[in-house]
Chain A
Amino acid sequence: MLLNSLLMTGNEAAAYAVKQSDVDLITAYPITPQTTIVEKLAEYVGRGDVKAAMVLIESEHSALSACIGASAAGARVFTATSSQGLAYMHEVMYVASGLRLPIVMAVANRALSAPINIHCDHSDIMGSRDSGWVQVFCEDPQDVYDNVVKAFRLAEDPRVLLPVAVNFNGFTTSHSCEPVAVLPDEEVRRFLPRRERHRLSYDEPMTIGGFALPDAYFESKVEQEKALRAAGRVFTEVEELYPNSESKRGAIHAEWTGGRVKLICMGDVAGSLRHFVKTQRLQDIFDVLSVRLFRPFPRRRLIELLNDAELVVVMDRSLSPGAVSPPLVSEVKSALYDAGFRVPVWSVVYGLGGKPVTLRKIGRLLGEAERGVREREARSRRILLR
């Protein structure tokens, strides 16, 4: 298939994917660094490139609420936000997943106030990590494009029917230009067929959003979690079916395996880590494992990849104040424990509020890790990569 390559920022890639996905309703509220997505979409809709209702709404809470209403009416919908906007949506995120609505949302990740800060970290989405959404992380604009298109298919799969949040780093991905291979419009259309599902309609009146007493509530939440777990398998299927096979990166993206030290991360830092390891020719020592599917967490795949680990270094871009460990390393440690696997795990917190991750810092960290594994240091450690 002939793919067109376009120079796009992450935000433009998201908007372009939405443009091709035959969405019916778009609504979003401006917030840096997400804003240019809606601006671009407003242009597409205004020009008639997309046949969608563009609801320029008064808040993020309402943006997601309107998506919920539209999705319940049978529409394919999209919204996007960051940081405070995502926090503002928090309440209705649980409703979107609880009502099993296949909404797709782009999240250009940004730090949360206070202090107010517009730069990237993952504390926004981590605050909603238990909201029952499928949560995908992207490494670059190409990944953003592919994941947004795939997200519609994944969300609307009858085994899933859940909202999907496509996360990518604010500015370093949302505003960085890279060539993006885009599919022809018809290919995307074919990849995203319309499917029947529950919806508000006179022909078959349905009550959506009733209240449940404890027994029914418990059962409905268990069923909802089953669907979220099923999304892990469907994620892999969707990647297989996606017309551009080059974009298949997996729930955990490992460009190579075999190193003794496993560096686990999410988002575009994977690129910096790979760059460093490759240019220093350290592939025998370090694997870079980029978690692209955070919910449901691909624990089996992770354990496979950690099979030969002597040291695991997990990079978190948010804190979980007062917790045993930050979010990503918590997942990794739980998965290891359940697998009966005892290996030292270092917890690294980096990049809060957009603090840059320089190659020098990476070099220092990897140097320490190399020493750690050479000297068979068995301790787990906590590192702040300032």
Chain B
Amino acid sequence: MVSRLDELVGFEPLSPGHSACAGCGAMIAVRQVLLAVPQPYIVVNATGCVEVVTTQYPNTAWRVPYVHVAFENAAAVASGIEAALRVLKEKGLARDHRVVVIAGDGGTADIGLQALSGALERRHSFLYVCYDNEAYMNTGIQRSSLTPHGAWTSTTPFGKAGPKKDLIAFAVSHGVPYAATASPYFWKDLANKVRKALTFDGPTFLHVLAPCNRGWRFDPSLTMRIAKLAVETRYFPLYEVEEGKYRINYFVSRPRPLEEFLRLQERFSYLLRPENAHLLEELKREVEARWEGLVRLAGS
């Protein structure tokens, strides 16, 4: 169990000087995740913001072995690495490495879903981390299937219609031994989930909320506040599913009004207009339904 910051900070896998935006939630999340992963490990990254800001040739921000192949296939690449390392180790041709996949919401929930499903079903041992900034940020803020209902993106100028996909349910439906959500504000919870995930043999899945000030349109100083409010409004509940058993890690008994989370972000300004009150209502209902569903599943 990690309970103090100094238990976490050891080897920094990412060097400073990469080109992420100030206040980038994805980079904070990735750093937190990797600080909790014991060496040696290999990072597999899908195309997206994290890849672009860390690997501009001839520089690299990575102090650990890192590979990026394409947008939709990170889980397949990881499958190959994991399966190959087992054999190479037996033949005395390589040492053991853990495999950590880092992919965005687009690379995970949309175009990468098939490769992910295949890899989970084949039970490769790796930790798959989806950093969810709720849109295709790298290409200029287009909607993904994890964009929330009513949010502005450059392809949903009047708000996205329909709820986020349930990624954890997707992972759990494959019988993964461990799946969890996390928010970088709750860094201890996040780090401990990473540590826990790595104790299982087989695929494990982490869905991390990654506020994006460019895409969500908020001041870069507010990243952590938004990461906190997302949880405290029940917008993004913190929970885990261990061998099929749901557990809520932060039981939000008295949620803050959803508007507190929404108002800080201009992407919701359309939704917050008086004439769009019905949209706001729909989003609220959805958030509540998600929470209640979770409470039922957790049996708490």
Q: Is the C-beta of B44 less than 8 angstroms from some C-beta in chain A? A: yes
**A324 contacts partner chain B, Cβ-Cβ < 8 Å:** no
User: B85 touches which one: A27, A66, A73, A205 (CB < 8 A)?
Assistant: A73
Give the total number of A-B pairs whose CB atoms are below 8 A apart.
168
Residues of A within 8 A of B273 (CB): none
Collect the chain A residues with CB atoms within 8 Å of residue B93's CB: 24, 74, 194
Q: Are B56 and A53 in contact (CB under 8 A)?
A: no
B51 with A69: CB separation less than 8 A: no
User: Which residues in B have their C-beta under 8 angstroms from that of A55?
Assistant: 79-80, 83, 122
Task: Contact check, B69 vs A209: say whether CB atoms are below 8 A apart.
Answer: yes
Docked-complex contact A206 and B65, CB < 8 angstroms: yes
Q: Interface size bucket, A side?
A: 35 or more
Closest to A91 in B: B70
Given A24-B91, A213-B56: A68 touches B77 (CB 8 Å cut-off): yes
Q: Are B80 and A65 in contact (CB under 8 A)?
A: yes
Residue ID in chain A nearest B40 by CB atoms: A202
Q: Is B16 an interface residue (CB 8 A)?
A: no
User: With A and B bound together, what is the CA distance between A58 and B112 in angstroms?
Assistant: 12
| Residue B86 interfacial (CB < 8 Å) | yes
B117 lies within 8 A of A58 (CB): yes
A residues in contact with B94, CB < 8 Å: 73-74, 201
Q: Contact size class for B?
A: 35 or more
Tell me the bound Cα distance from A3 to B189 in angstroms.
63
Is A210's beta carbon under 8 Å from chain B? yes
For the complex, is B66 an interface residue (Cβ under 8 Å from A)? yes
A205 touches B66 (CB 8 A): yes
Which of A62, A95, A208 touches B79 (beta carbons < 8 Å)?
A: A62
In the complex, are the beta carbons of B84 and A65 less than 8 A apart?
no
Quick check: A25 and B83 within 8 Å, CB to CB?
yes
Q: Does B32 contact A (CB under 8 A)?
A: no
A52 interface residue (CB < 8 Å to B): yes
Q: Is A352 an interface residue when CB atoms closer than 8 A count as contact? A: no
Say how far B1's CB is from chain A's closest CB, in angstroms.
25
Give B185-206 as 1s and 0s: 1 = Cβ < 8 Å from A's Cβ atoms: 0000000000000000000000
Q: Is the CB of B73 within 8 A of A65?
A: yes
Are A75 and B73 touching (Cβ within 8 A)? no
Interfacial chain B residues near A95, Cβ < 8 Å: 69-70
Contact flags (1/0) for A209-241 with B, using CB distance below 8 Å? 111110010001000000000000000000000
B22 to chain A, nearest CB (A): 21
- Write out the residue numbers on chain B whose beta carbons fall within 8 Å of the beta carbon of A205: 62-66
The reply to whether the CB of A319 lies closer than 8 angstroms to some CB of chain B is no
In the assembled complex, B274 has its CB within 8 A of some CB on chain A: no
B269 within 8 A of A: no
Are the CB atoms of B69 and A92 closer together than 8 Å? yes
A48-103: which have CB < 8 Å to B?
51-53, 55-59, 61-63, 65-75, 77, 91-92, 95, 99
What residues on A are CB-neighbors of B88 within 8 Å? 24, 73-75
Cβ–Cβ contact A62 & B65, under 8 A: no
* Shortest Cβ gap from A77 to chain B (Å): 7
Determine whether the beta carbon of A59 is less than 8 Å from that of B67. no
Do residues A211 and B57 form an inter-chain contact, with CB atoms below 8 A?
Answer: yes
Q: Give 19 CB contacts A-B under 8 Å.
A: A25-B87, A53-B83, A59-B114, A59-B115, A61-B76, A66-B77, A69-B81, A70-B83, A71-B80, A71-B84, A74-B93, A74-B94, A99-B69, A201-B94, A202-B95, A209-B67, A213-B56, A216-B57, A216-B58
Q: Which residues from chain A sit less than 8 Å from chain B, CB to CB?
A: 24-25, 27, 51-53, 55-59, 61-63, 65-75, 77, 91-92, 95, 99, 194, 200-203, 205-213, 216, 220
> What 4 additional pairs, Cβ within 8 angstroms, besides A58-B114, A210-B56?
A24-B88, A74-B93, A75-B84, A95-B70
Interface residues, chain B, CB within 8 Å of chain A? 39-42, 44, 51-52, 55-58, 60, 62-70, 72-73, 75-81, 83-88, 90-91, 93-95, 97, 114-115, 117-119, 121-122
